Amino acid sequence: MEKKFRIFATCDIGSDAVDLLRARGYDVEVYPQPEAPPKKLIVEKVTSGIDGLITTLRDPIDAEIFEAGKNTLKVVAQDAVGFDNINRADANRYKIPFTHTPDVLTEATAEFAFFMMGVLARKMWPAEQLLRDNRWGYWHPYLPFLGDEVTGKTIAVIGTGRIGLALIKKCAGFDMNILCYDPAYENHNYINAIQEEMSLRHGRGISREKNWIKYVPFEDSLRHADFVSIHVPLLRPGESPTPTYHLFNERTLRMMKPTAFLINDSRGPVVDEVALVKALRENWIAGAALDVYEKEPLPPDSPLRDPAIVDRCRLYPHFASAARITRLSTDPNKGMAGRCIQGLIDVLESNYGGDITKMPYVVNKEVFAKS
């Protein structure tokens, strides 16, 4: 390769992926700390004329960055599926493509939501705590507390994109009934196929009840579900006709059953945390498990840490996609690292005949469409 591309990565996406780029002749500098680099440093690196910038969720990528790379920066490659940290309008104004890593974290994120449901409902954390605190003094049919089964219950899947659909598939295997809601797009083909699978399982004696799945209005899904799991992107007012910012607030949390659990491994600001803490303190709902927050990392003084709700509030460190293959595989069909560098390579090496609109991992294709 005659041109040696210069790359700055704001985080280490894994040594295998970085080595792969280096083996192609790329000059790659990786920010060595686990914390996000100061924005000033990113601006400095971009000003120095790098061709590609590898980013992740915690890096604010906006006009200041794009201005610094006006004539030199060719691509921003995000090592995540979500890209709410990247200002799309600014990227478009500067005509700089950015890529992301869809699909490869779908199953990991869906299964994490599924496990969060179990951890919460079966009280796995308070149960282990009991043992570790040496408070396991007897076996008793219902003391000191019981959990709730997941099998056979009704789940509301809020958002039927890739991750929501993958969760649906897993819930069907647990003989659950499924209420679907999506603010933007309904995938009836998939839902019909799951209904067929449910009917077959019942017909062949695999499941005792005949389970069902259907799309319903948002409020209905909240009113009837035992579990509500959120899988929508974060869309702030003005960004979409169907914004999702604070979709879960005092009004909507009050619609849930007092025995129901809320699960969120999508984006923190979809849930109004002040309202959620109130819902947990006042027992409007039975519990919540969160992997994402309005502010990350979760501040030490967050009311979500209130010891009064610790038995019914599980908190995880934005960890849903944090599985080995999902995060680090250099195979673009398996790992975020692989898909991230493939997105970068596609743009820099003009794959697809240099037609950005044909590159699968580029998000903001709209600016490159020929009118």
Chain residues in the site for ligand GLV (CB under 6 A):
57, 80-82, 105, 321
Kindly tell me which of 57 and 260 has the beta carbon lying closer to ligand GLV: 57
Residues 6+ positions from 177 with CB-CB distance below 8 Å? 153, 154, 155, 211, 212, 213
Residue 318 among the catalytic residues: yes
Which of these, 249, 297, 251, 258, lies nearest to 277 by C-alpha position? Answer: 249
Eight-state DSSP code of residue 8? E
Nearer to ligand GLV, 211 or 229 (CB): 229
Smaller CB separation from ligand GLV, 105 or 337: 105
Q: CB 263 → ligand GLV: shortest distance, Å? A: 14
Question: Nearest approach, Cβ of 336 to ligand GLV (angstroms)?
Answer: 7
> Least distance in Å: CB of 82 to ligand GLV?
3
Residue 285, token pair as written in the block:
């709902």
Buried (b) or exposed (e) across 214-246, using 16+ Cβ within 10 A? ebeebeebbebbbbbbbbbbbbeeeeeeebbbb
Could you say which of 197, 239, 250, 296 is catalytic? 296
Q: Is 267 a catalytic residue?
A: yes
What minimum distance in Å lies between the beta carbon of 194 and ligand GLV? 25
Residue in 201, 246, 267, 314 annotated catalytic: 267
Q: Are 208 and 242 in contact (CB under 8 A)?
A: no
Active-site option among 100, 312, 318, 339:
318
- The values of phi and psi at residue 27, to 5°, are -100, 105
Burial class (CB in 10 A: 0-12, 13-18, 19+), 121: buried
Phi, psi of 200 (to 5 degrees): -65, -45
| 80 vs 255 by CB, closer to ligand GLV | 80
State in angstroms the smallest separation of the CB of 361 from ligand GLV: 13
Question: What is the C-alpha to C-alpha distance for residues 102 and 221, in angstroms, rounded to an integer?
Answer: 27
**Strand (E) or helix (H) holding 78:** strand 75-78
- Write the CA distances from 284 to 129, 275, 287, integer angstroms: 25, 10, 9
- Cβ closer to ligand GLV: 79 or 175? 79
Active-site positions read: 267, 296, 318
